Chain A
Amino acid sequence: KQEVTQIPAALSVPEGENLVLNCSFTDSAIYNLQWFRQDPGKGLTSLLLIQSSQREQTSGRLNASLDKSSGRSTLYIAASQPGDSATYLCAVRPQGGSEKLVFGKGMKLTVNP
């Protein structure tokens, strides 16, 4: 059974730091991996989607990498800002015919001014 782990569960940093968020998964048979952002009491917003054949994706100050063989992904946030404060969730789409996503528990990020 696919399991997704995000450690640590929470992180508090001063503004301006470069951040690395980690995600690990137990089964490398995946179609893709996604990073989502969730603001308090809100739905999820997709940040980056990496196909299994890709190594990384970039959007603005965000860069996500995927090492499928080792079951790891990292989300890099450059020059963090208070507006980046949110919960970040990692999810994988396992191979096998369904469209289900398997989520990690998320990491709550606080960027202090």
Chain B
Amino acid sequence: DGGITQSPKYLFRKEGQNVTLSCEQNLNHDAMYWYRQDPGQGLRLIYYSQIVNDFQKGDIAEGYSVSREKKESFPLTVTSAQKNPTAFYLCASSPFETGSRETQYFGPGTRLLVL
């Protein structure tokens, strides 16, 4: 089955700790995205990558970092600099094509909680 997997489903972070959220896709998509969702809010873009070894900051990149060493994988690290990390994190992918007619496909999400 093709799709996007995110792990873990729940993640707990202690003060001052960095944590990494996993996102893997087997859809052969070039572009991948990380969004943050807070209660009652829409999705806000953290980082996105249109090609391997390249990525761009989204609207709320401060306190986060990413890597894109493989086409299939786009891990997100929530650093200790992110002072309010409690949220639902969603990963997505899409074929990269300017003016693409394709939608973005979303993973099941990771809920991050602070201890």
Chain A interface residues (CB < 8 Å from chain B): 4, 9, 31-32, 34, 36, 41-46, 49, 51, 89, 91, 93, 95, 97-101, 103-106
Contacts and interface: CB of A to CB of B under 8 A. Distances in A.
Contacts of B41: 105
B71 interface: no
Interface of B: 4, 6, 31, 33, 40-45, 48, 50, 56, 58, 88, 90, 92, 94, 96, 98-101, 103-109, 111
Nearest to A51: B101
Given A9-B40, A103-B42, A106-B42, A49 B109 contact: no
Contacts of A103: 42-44
A100 B90 contact: no
B35 to A, nearest CB: 8
A4 to B, nearest CB: 7
A99 B42 contact: no
16 contacts: A4-B42, A9-B40, A41-B88, A41-B109, A42-B108, A43-B90, A46-B103, A91-B42, A91-B43, A93-B100, A98-B48, A98-B50, A99-B33, A99-B100, A103-B44, A105-B41
